[in-house]
Structure 1
Amino acid sequence: MLAFVRFSHVRGLLGHNIKAIQIANVTSFLIAIVGIIGLNLVASVQQTVNIHVHVAGAILALGLTPIYCALQMYLSGKFISAGYYGKCKVLFVFRLFLCIICSVCCGGLLLFVSVEGFTYLYTPTSDERTVYYMCTSSEYIMTSAFFTFLLTLTKEFSTINVTIFVEMINGQQLTIEE
């Protein structure tokens, strides 16, 4: 829902007449959908049941996070340059910092998994514990930075009023406002 509201917000304010904005907006929306599918895979399939499906879901959910953050930073920069929300240089630099943290943690996570393989997720031996803790720490730091990044979007979301129109088949109309 959040991704669709952000997609509609960007489309409504900036439009899709500039090709770069349209590509960034649609790509970030598709990445959000793929990330949601990955989160569902991780939550639905335990690592002890099917490690490959669990890891594929984790890669979909966590691996695309830095790209999503970079695209949203680009779109927020376009908001600032178009005159919306004033000059938010400090907020933009903070988002850049969070995006760098996500990128470094994602790279570290992929490096640790490629070095050790997927076996560390079951029961790590004493030699594998360091890699196990590094992977787990990277995951938690990355998700914390990503959620903090999403919280920085509250300035943009504070100006949105969501209204949903539902038209029934028999012609009646129902309006829901949040």
Structure 2
Amino acid sequence: MWWFQQGLSFLPSALVIWTSAAVMFSYITAITLHHVDPALPYISDTGTVAPEKCLFGAMLNITAVLGVATIYVRYKQVHALNPEENCIIKLNKAGLILGILSCLGLSLVANFQKTVLFPVHVSGGVLTFGMGSLYMFVQTILSYRMQPKIHGKQVFWIRLLLVIWCGVSALIMLTCSSLLYSGKFGTDIVQKLHWNPEDKGYVVHMITTAAEWSMSVSFFGFFLTYIRDFQKISLRVEASLHGLTLYDTAPCPINNERTRLLSRDFS
């Protein structure tokens, strides 16, 4: 059995691979059509102009679905491992909510371009990176609370380093973005897709975009740490029938049907 066939380990793998493909395909298309500059554009800028914005939006919507699935599986796994510890239960629920909000923000970023609806696009970015960073922080705390009996110390330290990386990148991006969009460097910053080294605010722009790419990479690395954990979990769907037919209103005792949520038997 291959490693990605063990448990649900394919979920975080698919999430990272698919998201990377979405970003790279839209980036290559935007660069080929000269819609953005090759040197570190904003990630969302590579999905601002047609046709790449169509590809960007469609693929990131699937990323949001994969993200929700991954976050939900992680929630169920932690719940199953620590069903009686009140602190862990609360943190686990908080992580689920934060993760879902981050995925919602990603969908907003993908479908509302900054040149069309800037406030919605920025709100989506705040949800994606802000709630996503908090989600990583909560999961790192859970990893700390569950070591060494359930979680290995090495996993905790890796996640902690990734959270610190993410936090530093977020702080730089927030500071530079606030400075860039303060109006000090002009009023056309929102619509600007092409930058020249001579432009006012070019250095601040490059620092902001570098921090955004860095933060995204830290997200990818964090979800990749789930692979080993997900090899040890599988989910099942239970169908509870309330009648002999679809038109019965009175409940009757009928055996429940239990199947794997995602089966590996395709033959």
Please classify the TM superposition score into its range, dividing by the shorter chain length: 0.7 to 0.9
If asked which structure has higher relative contact order (CA below 8 Å, sep 6+), I would say 2
Q: For 2:147 and 2:89, how far apart are their aligned partners in 1?
A: 17
Alignment correspondent of 1:34: 101
Q: For 1:139 and 1:174, how far apart are their aligned partners in 2?
A: 44
Q: For 1:93 and 1:120, how far apart are their aligned partners in 2?
A: 39
Matched, 1:175 2:259: yes
TM-score, normalised with respect to structure 1: 0.87
Structural mapping, 1:72-111, within 5 Å? 72-81=139-148, 83-85=149-151, 88-111=152-175
Unaligned runs of 5+ in 1: none
CA contact (8 A) 1:46 1:54 kept: yes
Alignment correspondent of 1:10: 78
How far off is 1:91 after superposition?
A: 2.6
- AA matched with 1:105: S
How far off is 1:176 after superposition?
A: 3.7
How far off is 1:174 after superposition?
A: 6.5
CA 1:122–1:12 in 2, change beyond 3 Å: closer, same or farther? same
Structural mapping, 1:47-86, within 5 Å? 47-81=114-148, 83-85=149-151
CA contact (8 A) 1:34 1:61 kept: yes
Matched, 1:140 2:213: yes
Q: For 1:41 and 1:122, how far apart are their aligned partners in 2?
A: 18
Partner deviation per Cα, 1:5-48 (whole Å, 9 max, x = no partner): 11111111111x32211221111100011101101110110111
CA contact (8 A) 1:102 1:145 kept: yes
Structural mapping, 1:143-162, within 5 Å? 143-162=216-235
Aligned residues: CA RMSD: 2.1
Alignment coverage as a number of residue pairs = 174
Q: For 2:227 and 2:190, how far apart are their aligned partners in 1?
A: 35
- AA matched with 1:92: F
Q: For 2:202 and 2:190, how far apart are their aligned partners in 1?
A: 10
Q: For 1:148 and 1:41, how far apart are their aligned partners in 2?
A: 23
Alignment correspondent of 2:26: none
Higher helix proportion, which one? 1
How far off is 1:69 after superposition?
A: 1.2
How far off is 1:173 after superposition?
A: 3.9
How far off is 1:168 after superposition?
A: 5.7
Partner deviation per Cα, 1:66-98 (whole Å, 9 max, x = no partner): 2211111111223323x125xx32332221111
- AA matched with 2:79: R
Percent of counterpart pairs with the same letter? Answer: 27
CA contact (8 A) 1:98 1:145 kept: yes
CA contact (8 A) 2:238 2:259 kept: yes
How far off is 1:109 after superposition?
A: 1.1
Q: For 2:191 and 2:104, how far apart are their aligned partners in 1?
A: 23
Secondary structure of the corresponding residue to residue 189 of structure 2: helix
Alignment correspondent of 1:163: 236
